[in-house]
Amino acid sequence: MWRYFAAFAICAGLFVPVFAQETKKDDQSKPAADQKASPEVVNRKNPMAPNASSLAEGKKVFAVDCVMCHGPEGDGKGDVAVSMKLTPPDYRDEAAMKKFTDGELFDIITNGKGGMPPEGKRATPEQIWDLVNYVRSFAQKKSAAAVR
């Protein structure tokens, strides 16, 4: 009887630390859901005016790097998101978009968030600001259509 107990204790002593270590690694890789952006990030202003040129440039970046998850209409139903059962935000939702400042969107796009990869090394800051303008335009299109 003691032999079984000793064998169990040894096995438990070997596997529990490994399990705890794996759990710790997983926790570190997940961003805090309620983590707030710094005031510097929140208050950062978009230097690019949301004019036709900026929206056209943002649309180009979106088409190459974002549409596969966020969808061509910004609804979060791109092919990759649907096949991987991901739930990106619906950029057409004006109330949801108002929760983010331009600075926060710039930071999320630049550095990534959750499963979204960072855009920072693939685009210039100007392109990312144009992308912020383009992303914002989805909600504006929807609200303009509702007025008609």
Range with lowest mean pLDDT among 23-32, 40-49, 118-127: 23-32
pLDDT band for position 141 (cuts 50, 70, 90): confident
| pLDDT attached to residue 35 | 59
Distance CA 148, CA 141 (A): 11
Mean pLDDT across 40-67? 96
- Tell me the pLDDT of the chain averaged across its residues: 81
* Predicted model pTM: 0.72
State the average pLDDT over residues 15-36.
43
